[in-house]
């Protein structure tokens, strides 16, 4: 499988990168600077420099690929940082619609699931810019006409386990976290099996 990976230098992106290369997949990683993946070398890894919010760059590298996986997200919960969600989604979709690539997988936040828990309401307020930007991203994707899957997750951790629970349209009961390894495993499996086309999937351990 030929995969475009956006956000490859992040912790989740690197987990996907490692697992995909080990499985024999071909990865095109788009990063902002040449040194971002300088520690990784593989004959199936192709690194391009540019922004995931730049349509021209995306249109140049997209043709010939099977799927786009985006792990993009804000490093801080500020309003400006959170715009990466909606701005990248707009660019990705516009580029994909003209390049013959229709399969898109993205990571979003479980804060968008309705909840009556006080803690969830507090978190939603604290991360309101994150939730708002993610909601805009999701709407853009849902209206795109592409074959999308949105993985909504809560807290990410660095555990090595790849086990997870999943439910379409809601977060599995009693779960609020997932390992990056498990998230990477889900995304790569979904990229190949397409079990949740045009679905929002809640994931946790």
Average pLDDT over all residues of the chain: 92
pLDDT tens-digit readout, 166-204: 999 999 988 889 999 999 999 999 999 999 999 999 999
Q: For the chain, how many structural domains are there in total?
A: 1
* CA gap 72, 96 in Å, rounded: 16
Check whether 5 has a pLDDT greater than 90.
yes
What pLDDT does residue 144 have? 96
Q: Find the mean pLDDT for residues 105-117.
A: 87
Q: What is the CATH number of the domain that holds 191?
A: 3.40.50.720
Structural domain span for residue 168: 2-204
pLDDT tens-digit readout, 94-104: 999 988 899 99
pLDDT tens-digit readout, 119-170: 666 676 667 788 899 999 999 999 999 999 999 999 999 999 999 999 999 9
């Amino acid at each position: 499988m030929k995969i475009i990976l956006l956000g490859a230098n992040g912790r989740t992106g690197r987990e996907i990168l490692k697992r995909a290369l080990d499985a024999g997949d071909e990865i095109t990683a788009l990063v902002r600077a040449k040194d971002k993946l300088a520690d990784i070398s593989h004959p199936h890894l192709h690194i391009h420099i540019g922004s995931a919010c730049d349509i021209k760059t995306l249109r140049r590298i997209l043709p010939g690929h099977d799927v786009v996986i985006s792990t993009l997200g804000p490093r801080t919960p500020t309003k400006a940082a959170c715009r990466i969600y909606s701005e990248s989604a707009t660019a990705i979709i516009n580029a994909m619609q003209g390049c013959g690539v229709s399969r898109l997988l993205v990571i979003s936040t479980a804060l968008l699931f309705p909840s009556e828990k006080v803690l969830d309401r507090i978190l939603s307020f604290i991360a309101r810019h994150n939730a708002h930007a993610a909601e805009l991203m999701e709407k853009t994707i849902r209206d795109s006409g592409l074959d999308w899957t949105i993985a909504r997750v809560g807290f990410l951790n660095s555990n090595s386990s790849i086990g997870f629970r999943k439910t379409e349209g809601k977060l599995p009961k009693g779960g609020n976290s997932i390992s990056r390894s498990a998230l990477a495993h889900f995304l790569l499996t979904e990229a190949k099996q397409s079990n949740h086309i045009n679905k929002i999937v809640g994931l946790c351990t």
